[in-house]
Protein backbone atom coordinates (compact mmCIF):
# COMPACT_ATOMS: atom_id res chain seq x y z
CA UNK A 1 0.00 0.00 0.00
CA UNK A 2 2.80 2.42 0.88
CA UNK A 3 4.50 1.64 -2.43
CA UNK A 4 1.45 2.89 -4.33
CA UNK A 5 1.55 6.17 -2.35
CA UNK A 6 5.23 6.55 -3.09
CA UNK A 7 4.66 5.85 -6.80
CA UNK A 8 1.82 8.38 -6.94
CA UNK A 9 4.01 10.97 -5.24
CA UNK A 10 6.91 10.34 -7.64
CA UNK A 11 4.66 10.52 -10.69
CA UNK A 12 3.17 13.81 -9.45
CA UNK A 13 6.58 15.22 -8.57
CA UNK A 14 8.05 14.49 -11.99
CA UNK A 15 4.91 15.46 -13.93
CA UNK A 16 4.64 19.00 -12.53
CA UNK A 17 7.92 20.26 -14.06
CA UNK A 18 7.00 18.65 -17.40
CA UNK A 19 3.59 20.34 -17.39
CA UNK A 20 5.20 23.69 -16.56
CA UNK A 21 7.76 23.22 -19.33
CA UNK A 22 4.96 22.38 -21.81
CA UNK A 23 3.04 25.51 -20.75
CA UNK A 24 6.18 27.63 -21.20
CA UNK A 25 6.73 26.10 -24.63
CA UNK A 26 3.14 26.85 -25.67
CA UNK A 27 3.55 30.46 -24.50
CA UNK A 28 6.75 30.72 -26.53
CA UNK A 29 4.98 29.42 -29.66
CA UNK A 30 2.01 31.74 -29.03
CA UNK A 31 4.45 34.66 -28.87
CA UNK A 32 5.95 33.63 -32.22
CA UNK A 33 2.41 33.43 -33.65
CA UNK A 34 1.56 36.89 -32.33
CA UNK A 35 4.77 38.35 -33.79
CA UNK A 36 4.04 36.59 -37.09
CA UNK A 37 0.56 38.19 -37.19
CA UNK A 38 1.92 41.63 -36.21
CA UNK A 39 4.46 41.52 -39.02
CA UNK A 40 1.81 40.32 -41.46
CA UNK A 41 -0.55 43.15 -40.53
CA UNK A 42 2.33 45.64 -41.01
CA UNK A 43 3.11 43.92 -44.34
CA UNK A 44 6.64 43.32 -43.09
CA UNK A 45 7.78 40.30 -45.11
CA UNK A 46 11.35 40.59 -43.80
CA UNK A 47 10.03 40.51 -40.21
CA UNK A 48 8.13 37.30 -40.96
CA UNK A 49 11.18 35.76 -42.63
CA UNK A 50 13.26 36.59 -39.53
CA UNK A 51 11.05 34.21 -37.51
CA UNK A 52 12.34 31.28 -39.59
CA UNK A 53 15.51 29.31 -38.89
CA UNK A 54 18.29 29.30 -41.46
CA UNK A 55 16.98 27.31 -44.41
CA UNK A 56 13.46 27.44 -42.96
CA UNK A 57 10.67 26.39 -45.27
CA UNK A 58 7.07 27.49 -45.82
CA UNK A 59 4.75 24.98 -47.49
CA UNK A 60 1.31 25.82 -48.86
CA UNK A 61 -0.82 24.55 -51.77
CA UNK A 62 1.50 26.39 -54.20
CA UNK A 63 4.42 24.30 -52.93
CA UNK A 64 7.44 24.66 -50.67
CA UNK A 65 9.75 27.67 -50.58
CA UNK A 66 12.69 28.86 -48.53
CA UNK A 67 12.25 32.42 -49.88
CA UNK A 68 9.82 33.38 -47.15
CA UNK A 69 9.95 37.15 -47.71
CA UNK A 70 9.15 36.75 -51.41
CA UNK A 71 6.18 34.48 -50.65
CA UNK A 72 4.69 37.08 -48.32
CA UNK A 73 5.39 39.96 -50.70
CA UNK A 74 3.21 38.04 -53.16
CA UNK A 75 0.44 37.64 -50.59
CA UNK A 76 0.55 41.36 -49.78
CA UNK A 77 0.51 42.23 -53.47
CA UNK A 78 -2.58 40.02 -53.91
CA UNK A 79 -4.34 42.15 -51.27
CA UNK A 80 -4.06 40.14 -48.06
CA UNK A 81 -3.46 42.49 -45.13
CA UNK A 82 -4.64 40.84 -41.91
CA UNK A 83 -3.71 37.57 -40.20
CA UNK A 84 -5.16 35.99 -37.07
CA UNK A 85 -3.39 32.95 -35.63
CA UNK A 86 -4.47 30.52 -32.93
CA UNK A 87 -2.20 27.95 -31.34
CA UNK A 88 -4.19 24.84 -30.44
CA UNK A 89 -1.47 22.42 -29.44
CA UNK A 90 2.29 22.35 -28.84
CA UNK A 91 4.36 19.24 -28.19
CA UNK A 92 8.07 18.99 -27.41
CA UNK A 93 10.12 16.82 -29.75
CA UNK A 94 13.21 16.56 -27.60
CA UNK A 95 15.26 19.23 -25.90
CA UNK A 96 15.53 21.65 -28.83
CA UNK A 97 12.55 20.90 -31.10
CA UNK A 98 8.79 21.31 -30.86
CA UNK A 99 5.71 20.74 -32.97
CA UNK A 100 2.83 23.21 -33.04
CA UNK A 101 -0.54 23.26 -34.74
CA UNK A 102 -3.45 25.63 -34.96
CA UNK A 103 -5.62 27.70 -37.25
CA UNK A 104 -5.11 30.83 -39.30
CA UNK A 105 -7.47 33.34 -40.87
CA UNK A 106 -6.21 35.81 -43.48
CA UNK A 107 -8.28 38.57 -44.99
CA UNK A 108 -7.96 41.52 -47.32
CA UNK A 109 -9.28 42.85 -50.61
CA UNK A 110 -8.09 42.12 -54.12
CA UNK A 111 -7.34 44.86 -56.65
CA UNK A 112 -11.02 44.93 -57.69
CA UNK A 113 -12.04 45.58 -54.08
CA UNK A 114 -13.56 42.14 -53.60
CA UNK A 115 -12.98 40.56 -50.19
CA UNK A 116 -10.31 37.92 -49.71
CA UNK A 117 -10.95 35.50 -46.88
CA UNK A 118 -9.05 32.27 -46.23
CA UNK A 119 -9.23 30.11 -43.12
CA UNK A 120 -7.03 27.09 -42.67
CA UNK A 121 -4.90 24.86 -40.50
CA UNK A 122 -1.17 25.14 -39.93
CA UNK A 123 1.52 22.93 -38.47
CA UNK A 124 5.06 23.98 -37.66
CA UNK A 125 8.31 22.48 -36.47
CA UNK A 126 10.30 24.78 -34.20
CA UNK A 127 14.01 24.53 -33.46
CA UNK A 128 16.42 26.41 -31.26
CA UNK A 129 18.86 28.49 -33.29
CA UNK A 130 21.44 30.51 -31.34
CA UNK A 131 19.24 30.21 -28.25
CA UNK A 132 16.09 31.51 -29.97
CA UNK A 133 13.12 29.39 -30.99
CA UNK A 134 12.60 29.64 -34.76
CA UNK A 135 10.36 28.03 -37.36
CA UNK A 136 12.10 25.26 -39.30
CA UNK A 137 9.08 24.33 -41.40
CA UNK A 138 5.57 25.73 -41.49
CA UNK A 139 2.78 24.12 -43.49
CA UNK A 140 -0.42 26.11 -44.06
CA UNK A 141 -3.38 24.62 -45.87
CA UNK A 142 -6.82 26.17 -46.40
CA UNK A 143 -9.79 24.34 -44.96
CA UNK A 144 -11.59 22.22 -47.51
CA UNK A 145 -14.99 23.50 -48.62
CA UNK A 146 -17.95 21.71 -47.11
CA UNK A 147 -19.12 18.69 -49.09
CA UNK A 148 -21.87 19.31 -51.61
CA UNK A 149 -25.17 17.52 -51.09
Domain spans in the chain, listed from the N-terminal domain onward? 2-142
- More confident of the two residues 88 and 146: 88
pLDDT number for residue 43: 98
Q: Which whole number is the average pLDDT over 126-147?
A: 95
Q: Which of 132, 129, 142 is nearest to 60 (CA)?
A: 142
pLDDT number for residue 75: 97
Instruction: Give the pTM.
Output: 0.83
Architecture of domain 2-142: Roll (3.10)
pLDDT number for residue 10: 47
The residue count of the chain comes to 149
pLDDT at 27 over 60: yes
pLDDT number for residue 137: 98
pLDDT at 5 over 70: no
pLDDT in tens, 35-84: 999 999 999 999 999 999 999 999 999 999 999 999 999 999 999 999 99
Long-range contacts of residues 141-145, Cβ cutoff 8 Å, at least 24 apart: 141/60, 141/61, 142/61, 142/118, 143/119
Amino acid sequence: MRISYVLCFLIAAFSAPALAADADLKQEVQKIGATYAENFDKQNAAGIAALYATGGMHVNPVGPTTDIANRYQGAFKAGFNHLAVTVDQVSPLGADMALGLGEYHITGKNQSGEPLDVTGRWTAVYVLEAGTRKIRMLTALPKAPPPKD
